[in-house]
Amino acid sequence: MYIRDINPGRHGPLISKIPFLINYFEKEMQINQPGSIYGAQGGYNKSHPQSIVIKRNLIEKETYKYFGQNFWEDQQEKMNTVFIDHNLKIEDQDESLIVDFANAYIGGGTLGKGAAQEEILFLIFPQAIISMLICEKMDINEAILIQNVRRYANYSGYSSTLQYHDMNSFHKNVIRKDIIAMDAIQYYDGRNYSQYRSENFIQELNKCYIAFRCIEQCRLSKISSGRWGCGAFKGDPQLKFLLQWIAASLVKKHLIFATINDNRGLEKLNEVIMALSRKQIKDVFGYLVKYSQGNQGQHDLFNTILWMANQTKLNDPYSNKLNDPYSDKLNSYSQIKYEKISNFDQRLSAHDQSSKIIQINKRSQTIGQNGKNNGLAFGQNNKQNSNNYEQQVNYDFKVLNAQNKQKNEQDNWRYDQNNSKGIGTMLSPIRQTRGNTKKQN
């Protein structure tokens, strides 16, 4: 077929790819020509490493079988930092490992009709196309790393709207990136809800971990990704975000999640990050397991996780606040957050909903020994009377005297870290259902 015979309406993506490929060969031919703007006088550094490395990163099958539910439930690392970027594209992040939302056959439809994230990535980094010739279909236990590929073009649009743009700074700025290709499970055949089954999201979580662990070879500190497998593969962006965040936390690297101003399905992304940022990996993984055991058709993942995280705080108000460095710097957001927690607890009875919340004044005086003893007694009684609180309470609690209790008018938490014995000072919302415990103290 000749180019002149291509029907633009039927073969639009094919036509839009031609300038990318012609541009690559044109710039390569001009690089070493004397006097060319792409030569040494134009800023091109011939000493820059030119070798391109393609590696298959995998976990052996005998070892892979141990990466199941028990493995992830044992991970006690804290959730690492995650950055949300609404403006820059995935490939525009500096000093980052670029995630390729790959097809199992790497490159996908780059040389065909496809024009999704992977195809566009291979068009602006055309040296990556060589991997399509030498790499077999990816298995569940492997990802493909492509190192030191150079960028040759810019672009705008996506799929049918894709357009080539010249890279004016090509001769001045040598941009080379490392790309990690990892394929998601395809759910476009109507099996959308099967992605929440534990065996499926564990497989994808393992895929992310296998891909991200190669970042040590690249000497990079950040991973740049986004809506992996959420286009034609019909993945849930909420689930894919959490899986990538968990995997990045396990390899102790920062995740940059690029939305590109598309917040569909991610409206509560910031709330989820706030709720889970101080959790352990096993806690967040546990929420996914619980969600997989419920009815996913009634509630989306983010709302369910927010509810579960807030229920944990209501049932165990001490464990999460004692180590909270911001507990003595409450602002308006913390008050709003507590109101949201209260809204989630709609199963409480009417008299429980109307129960008063004990307040703490930030400027309250130091509590004496009697207050300390009362706090200890309160913590022990609360441990014995609460069926939901199974872990041993190892903290000493102090309570305010009657005068201080009457003066407090706002929801607040106090954590006194300056006590000579390192004893935490905290009061939590006491519901009417715990009235008997309060009276005994």
Is 103 annotated as belonging to a binding site?
A: yes
Residues with a known catalytic role: 100, 118-119
Is 7 annotated as belonging to a binding site?
A: no
DSSP conformation class of 375: H
Interatomic CA distance for residues 194 and 19, integer angstroms: 40
Question: Residue 394 phi/psi, 5° resolution?
Answer: -110, 20
Q: What separation, in Å, do the N-terminal and C-terminal C-alpha atoms of the chain show?
A: 87
Beta strands in 228-288 (DSSP E): 254-258
Residue given tokens 């497998």 in the structure block: 229
Neighbours of 261 (CB within 10 A): 8
- Of 216, 194, 192, nearest to 203 by C-alpha is 194
Reduce the secondary structure of 398-433 to three states and give it as a string.
Answer: CCCCHHHHHHCCCCCCCCCCCCCCCCCCCCCCCCHH
Interatomic CA distance for residues 252 and 199, integer angstroms: 24
Interatomic CA distance for residues 99 and 141, integer angstroms: 17
Contacting residues for 75 by C-beta, under 8 A, at least 6 apart:
250, 280, 281, 282, 285
Kindly compute the dihedral angle of the four CA atoms of residues 372, 377, 378, 380, in this order, to the nearest 10 degrees.
130
Strand partners, 182: 101
Binding site per annotation, positions = 103, 117, 158
Binding site per annotation, positions for substrate = 103, 117, 158
